[in-house]
Amino acid sequence: MGMKIHRDIPQGSDAWFALRREIPTASCAKQIITKTGKIAAARVGYMNQLYAEAVVPEYAEDEITSIAIDWGNNWESVAREAYADITGQKIKEVAFVTTDDGRSGCSPDGLVFLDGEIHSGLEIKCPFHPRNHIAALAAGKMPEEHKPQVHWSMAVTGSNTWAFMSYFPGLPPLIEVIERDEYTAKVEAAMKQFGDEYAEFRKMMKLKMEQPIKEKVK
């Protein structure tokens, strides 16, 4: 599966939201596939959300913010620098990555290139409450809730590895390198299935949108 890298567009900008519109992304992968590898029932609701983004873009759900989201965004750049210092890797920031067909995408927190090709990627979580970071440190591994997102990113980019980092200021970070495995293959299959299902859903909705509104007959 090929891919297309979109650069020079700040994440969180209007142009970035427009670029992602109506494309299933890694951050919402859990609505398509569960952490155990089953097709998620929530995918139907996610189709509604994606189509809503297309017809009423000003109400895109991804634009909803909160204190916790702002906290994570504010500390992400610090965490990325810390990751680079710890690993010695050169991290490149990009806006968005899509599959060649444009039916799936991800917004990596960083990419590592080798000979011009994506070698690995980075997913950073900066929990608002330290207890969540402590829990990750205690377990010594990525929380299972992030599994669909990380493997979706690998599926989109074709990378064989993806680093997960949990960061909280003043505390030791957690870094785990996730490798492509059987779950990644399940994600790729779910990605294709969802793409096919959404294409049919979109055709159906287009027909419904084109139907004239009939007034009630008394």
Q: List, for residues 70-116, the tens digit of each pLDDT value.
A: 887 789 999 999 999 999 999 999 999 999 999 999 999 999 998 88
pLDDT digits (tens, 9 = 90+) for 149-181: 999 999 999 999 999 999 999 999 999 999 999
212, pLDDT greater than 90? no
pLDDT at res. 62? 53
pLDDT at res. 215? 53
pLDDT at res. 131? 95
What average pLDDT score do residues 124-142 get?
Answer: 96
Phi then psi for residue 84, to 5 deg, are: -65, -40
61, pLDDT greater than 60? no
Of the spans 12-21, 49-58, 70-79, 185-194, which averages the highest pLDDT?
A: 185-194
Instruction: Give domain 3-210's CATH architecture.
Output: Alpha-Beta Complex (3.90)
Each domain of the chain, given as residue ranges in start order, spans: 3-210
Compute CA distances 63 → 11, 37, 43, whole Å: 11, 28, 20
What crossing angle do the helices spanning 182-210 and 43-55 adopt, rounded to 10°? Answer: 50
Take residue 180 and report the two structure tokens written for it: 């492509």
CA distance 74 to 178: 25
CA distance 205 to 213: 14
pLDDT at res. 170? 95
Report the percentage of the chain scoring pLDDT > 90. 73
Take residue 5 and report the two structure tokens written for it: 């890298």
pLDDT digits (tens, 9 = 90+) for 194-203: 999 999 999 9
